[in-house]
Each structure stands twice: as structure tokens, then as C-alpha cells.
Amino acid sequence: MKITSRHFGVTRDGQEVTEYTLACSNVQVSVLNYGAIIRSIIVPDRNGKPVDIALGYDNLASYEEDSSTNFGALTGRFAGRIREARFPLNGEEVVLPPNSGRHHLHGPFRNKVLQASVCGGSLVLSGVSPAEEEGYPGDLSFSVTYTLSDDGILGMIYDADTTADTVVNLTNHSYFNLNGHASGTVLDQELQLGASHILENTDELLPTGEILSVAGTPFDFRRLAPISQGFPLQGEQMEFAGGYDHCFLLDEDAKIAAIAHSAKTGITMEVTTTQPAVVFYSGNFLMDHPFRGKGGCQYDAQHGFCLETQHAPDSPNMPAFPTTTLKAGEHYHEATLWKFLTLK
């Protein structure tokens, strides 16, 4: 595996942005030190033709101006919605800026220019979120380490430390289209999830706290099934989100969190993780953004899907959920692996 770099642009406030390319024998992944964004993932199809399966942009200005899609970005401090943009911590109320209606979604990491270093074949991107940035307590030092093995496994290792008790929930927000990023709908692609249950959503896409079985519903991806099985929209849960935008709770015995497959290209993606859940999002709101994607293509609803390995949304307000509190002196460490292979 080798890592090369090139100048990608300059932010509006004058910071240099570099694109790093990790390449092995059959997979090539490009990452920006702006938001730790994965800009492209190039995998051969069954005929050996290279296919870019990650949605994104050709220029830095589009990433800066697009405030909603989070294409490829490191998402944090807290991936997912936090109800009413506030939560209790150590007997006090932490107040965040509402940025998704009345609620708080994801946080500021996608806009940060990070320090980059190449260490032993890995790309390490690191930064500091100062105390009270968007209301979060504690100076949070964080990093994401990208590795790419010769057998096509992209690793993302997340680490963080804090000077004061806070909440942390990090993930990557890449959108995939295994037919190629500019090929249109993903509804013909297949998905398998190691999850027998999902969290029920409100009409504002917040968990109610209820846990629902996937059996007999459009959410049953325990075996490989087409993403189209939920379309046209079936039932209240699908209608609330305009498609899939749900937290799938991984079974304790699930060896693989997710498998995605394109019969058209043969490209297959396997996901393993230390995290307890995967948020499967079917790109329902892509039609709302005005920016042209790579090569000038226009992305529309369901033209990409996300598999966000993380803790549950709104966990700080849900005592029954696994905690996302990181205490001062403790260390946050999570990992997710994406394996890319091509089936003949």
C-alpha cells in the first residue's frame, strides 16, 4: 500500500487542504484533510473496469458550501440527532445550537482542517474541538486513522480524549453507489444487515425509545435483499423518513454488520465494526441540494446510501441506551472496517 498527496484547494479562511490517496493492488481511496472526507473509492468491477463508488465533489468550494449532505465526512462530536438540542450531563443541562429544526444534528467536524501525518502506512488525521464549541463540554482531542490493506480492506480507527466529561459518537458519512457514483438509483442494489431490531422513529426522525422487530417488515435485511423492498414507501416508519433513515441495532452474535452488493458491477462491500449499531440511510434528501457532484453529475433521492456505524441517535437523552459519555481521563476508541471485493 502506498500513500501519495496533492494540493486540493484553499478554504475561505485561507487554510491549505490536501488530498491523500491510499492505493493497494485493486482499491484506491482518496481522503481530504478537510473534515477527514473520503472523496472517492475506486474499485474494479467484474470486467476489471475501475468504478468510483463514493458520492462527492470535484472541488473544495462545494464541500464548504454544502451544509447538509456531509458527503464522506467524519461526523461528530455526536453523529445523529439530539432532541431539542440539549441533554443532561452530571446533573446539569448542556445546550447545543439547533441545526435540524428544533434539534441538533452531527456537529462541527466536517468543516475542520485537520493535521495530517503518515505513520507506518497509515494516514492519521487529528484535531482539537475546544471546550464549548457548539456547546459541548471539554477540550476534545480526536483522530481518525485510515489504513488500506492489500486485500482491499479500508480501516477507520477513531480515538478521542477529553479534559471534561462530554459525549462522543463518531462515524463516517460516506454515500455509496456500487454501480458507480453517477449511475442513478441504488434501489436495485442489495443489502444485508446483522440486525434483528431497529429503533422506532418519531416523525422528526428521533428515536421514541421503542425497539421494533424487523420480522415481516421492509426493515428485514437479515438476508441479502434489494433496497427497493421498502419502496414505494411502506408504512409510517418509511413515510416519516421518505425511505430508510433508521438505526439498526446489531445482534450480539453478528460477525458482519453489513453487506452491500451490486449485481450489475459485481462490487461487494462488507462492514465490520466495534460499534453497537448501523444507521442505514437511503439518501432520501439528496434531491434538496443544489450542488453538482463529481464530473458535473446531479445526485437525486436514493442515488446513494449510507451505512453509519455508531451508537444510537439521541443516546444522551435515553438512559436505557448504551452510554455515549466520555469521562475525563477515559479514552474513546472505536473501529470500522470496509472490505471491498468483486464477485464474478
C-alpha closest to that of 143 among 331, 339, 337, 340: 331
| Beta bridge pairs of residue 138 | none
Contact 171, 338 (CB under 8 A): no
Q: Which of 64, 270, 308, 334 is catalytic?
A: 308
Query: Is-catalytic flag, 308?
Result: yes
In whole angstroms, what is the distance from residue 338 CA to residue 323 CA?
25
Q: Which of 103, 106, 173, 181 is catalytic?
A: 173
Contact 139, 128 (CB under 8 A): yes
C-alpha closest to that of 20 among 181, 144, 170: 144
In whole angstroms, what is the distance from residue 197 CA to residue 214 CA?
5
- From the number of C-beta atoms within 10 Å of its C-beta (0-12, 13-18, 19+), residue 307 rates as buried
Contact 231, 261 (CB under 8 A): no
Active site residues: 173, 308
